[in-house]
Copies of this chain bind each other. A is one copy, B any other.
Amino acid sequence: MAAGERRTGDLSGVVQLLRDGQPRTRAELGQLTGLARSTVSARVDQLLAAGLVTPAGEASSTGGRPPATLAFHPGARITLAIDLGATHARVAVTDLASTVLAEHLDTIAISDGPGPVLDHVAKVAAKLVEHTGRHTSELVGVGVGLPGPVDHATGRPTNPPIMPGWDDADVAGHLGALLGTPVLVDNDVNVMALGEHATEFADVDHLLFVKVATGIGAGVISDGAIRRGAQGAAGDVGHIAVPGGRDVLCRCGNTGCLEAVAGGRAIAAELAAAGLPALTSADVVALVRSGDVTALRTVRDAGRAIGEVLATCVSMLNPSVIVLGGSVAEAGEHLLAGIREVVYRRSLPLATQHLRIVSSRTKGRAGVLGASTMVVDHLLTSGALEDMLG
């Protein structure tokens, strides 16, 4: 078996096939999975009993009794999806198709540390589950996105620069104990990439999700799956030196980093120096929306700097879609225009001829959609479904 590949059971195989929403007959399931007729029957019966699969009417037939079809029933269980930022916590309850059933957006301070933040989030989450009329016993898992590097295998943050007190914190253990269900943790941008990919670009195999907010980071989808790299640090583009970048000191200690030149705080500082009322990314977006010419020009310049770095990423990874998300990306076309200008000028024609550079379509929900997707993917690829149904 190839490295990184994991053998999954027949139950997961059947659900994976039905996950696209299309009903299928037992015969079709046998054909597509390569399983024997008797095995398909046994697995389908197990899934029917658990409510994960339901009868879905009859297939069309050329004669004789038309065969019954079966469909995935995503409402059978639920997930909790938690998107934590420096100052926000978005919590959602979703079904197994990552449809949001209930959602809550909170202001928090991540710098309060893991104990207070996670205790608060767990309380909000439990209430939210109750609010949907469901029960935490129906959870198949909790997905969490954190604003810093995360060791995905252990679910612990690794020296996260904007999360004082969180280094090596047992986020999965802490939340798991409070909510009584497995918890998966990843970097927020990886989770956003997963969410945008699963819900809006499922047919795209090579996608970069770039978050432009106070910080700048990317999530890499290649051959249909998220690529985290050796230490889970893949996509950490905020501290790449911008070609011709100014000599600005970055919080990482280097100078001329992308984040220090084109991040939300950097843009706000530049606008403030020009006498404009800008402190945060939201202020920058407001100035752009008001049509302030200095703000337009500054945001477009930030786009150009981001484009310099993305041009290299395009040559390296040859994606077919780059999605821009994050609070600064809400400035819209002006940021996109700067990025496009440089990427299309600096990359080879073969890599850009079919490349689309677009704004996020998930309206701020990429994080929770991705956290939910991560949980369901894990359920169906780790053997967890087999364990759950015995």
A binding-site residues for B, Cβ under 8 Å: 1-5, 7, 9, 13, 16-17, 33-34, 149, 158-159, 205-206, 218, 220, 222-225, 227-237, 239-245, 252, 254, 308-309, 311-313, 315-320, 346-351, 353-355, 381
Q: Are B351 and A231 in contact (CB under 8 A)?
A: yes
B224 engages A4 (CB within 8 Å):
yes
- Please measure, in the bound complex, the distance between the C-alpha atom of A236 and the C-alpha atom of B4, giving whole angstroms: 25
CB pair A225 B228 closer than 8 Å? no
Report B-chain residues with C-beta under 8 Å of the C-beta of A233. 315, 318, 348, 350-351
Pairwise interchain contact B205-A239, C-beta atoms closer than 8 A: no
Name the residue on B nearest A151 (C-beta).
B350
A217 (CB) vs chain B CBs: closest residue: B315
Docked complex Cα distance between A281 and B377 (Å): 49
Pick the contact of A4: B205, B232, B318, B346 (CB < 8 A). Answer: B205
Check A236 against B315 for contact (C-beta < 8 Å): yes
> Inside 8 A of A227's CB, which chain B residues have their CB?
222-223, 227, 317
- When distances are taken between beta carbons in the complex, the residues of chain B under 8 Å from A353 are 231
Question: Which partner residue on chain B sits nearest A207 by CB separation?
Answer: B230
Residues of B within 8 A of A347 (CB): 239
Q: List 26 A-B contacts (CB under 8 A).
A: A1-B16, A2-B224, A2-B381, A3-B223, A4-B205, A149-B350, A206-B229, A220-B317, A228-B318, A229-B318, A229-B319, A230-B319, A234-B317, A236-B316, A236-B318, A236-B351, A237-B312, A237-B316, A239-B315, A240-B311, A240-B312, A243-B244, A252-B348, A254-B346, A309-B312, A312-B316
Across the A-B interface, give the 6 residue pairs with the lowest CB-CB distance, nearest first: A229-B318, A3-B224, A243-B243, A230-B320, A4-B223, A234-B318
Asked if B354 and A230 sit within 8 Å, CB to CB, the answer is yes
Bound-state Cα–Cα, A242 to B244, Å: 10
Least CB distance, A309 to chain B, in whole angstroms: 7
Q: Given A205-B230, A222-B229, A351-B231, are A240 and B315 also a contact pair (CB < 8 Å)? A: yes
For A16, what are the chain B residues with a Cβ–Cβ distance below 8 Å? 1
Asked whether A318 lies within 8 Å of B231 as measured between CB atoms, the reply is yes
Q: Are A316 and B206 within 8 A (Cβ)?
A: no
Closest Cβ of chain B: how far from A303's Cβ, in Å?
A: 17
Using Cβ atoms and an 8 Å threshold, which residues of chain B touch A351? Answer: 229, 231, 233, 236
In whole Å, how far is A211's beta carbon from the nearest beta carbon of chain B?
A: 14
Smallest Cβ distance from A122 to chain B, in angstroms? Answer: 28
Residues of B within 8 A of A158 (CB): 350
**Cβ A241 vs Cβ B311 within 8 A:** yes
A316: contacting residue among B205, B317, B355, CB under 8 A: B317
**Bound complex: CA A324 to CA B218 (Å):** 26
Cα–Cα, bound, A228→B7 (Å): 24
How far does the Cβ of A291 sit from chain B's closest Cβ, in whole Å?
A: 33
Q: Kindly report which residue of chain B lies nearest to residue A318, judged by CB atoms.
A: B229
Q: How far is the CA of A278 from the CA of B220 in the complex (A)?
A: 41
Complex: A192 Cα to B225 Cα, angstroms: 24
Residues on B with beta carbons closer than 8 Å to the beta carbon of A1: 13, 16-17
Q: Is A3 touching B230 in the complex (CB atoms < 8 A)?
A: no
Inter-chain CA distance A5–B309, complex, in Å, is 30
In the assembly, what is the distance between CA of A346 and CA of B254, in Å?
8
Establish whether residues A348 and B7, one from each chain, have CB atoms under 8 Å apart when the complex forms.
no
Q: Is the CB of B220 within 8 A of A223?
A: no
Distance (whole angstroms) from the CB of A98 to the closest CB of chain B: 16
